[in-house]
Amino acid sequence: MRIYDDDDLSRLQFIRRAQCMNFSLAEIGTLLRFRENPERCRLDVRELTLRKFEEIDEQLGNLDALGHELRSLARLCSSANDGCAIISGL
């Protein structure tokens, strides 16, 4: 059985939260290094966070476009008389 002190638990919680925010393991490693001296690294942390936001924003746009495309295919399927519009569309 492992026993964790408060610093270990804080570090694990930090890692888990960063993972939930879609930071990669490499990015989390960078954030952990920044965490050691947050005052000095504030601008670097902000830059990394803004890059992550832009990446997620792009992913959301791609997912939105995919959703519209799938919805259109599903509508075509319900109005098709022969064949499968979804299979044809793919």
Buried b (16+ CB within 10 A) or exposed e, 57-85: eeeeeeeeeeeeeeeebeeeeeeeeeeeb
Per-residue pLDDT of 34-79, as tens digits, reads: 998 888 888 999 999 999 999 999 999 999 999 999 888 888 777 6
1 is a domain residue: no
The model's pTM is 0.70
Distance of CA 22 to the CA centre of its chain: 4
**Is it the case that residue 4 has pLDDT exceeding 80?**
yes
If one counts the domains in the chain, the total is 1
Q: Which domain holds residue 68?
A: 6-89
Residue 82 lies in a domain: yes
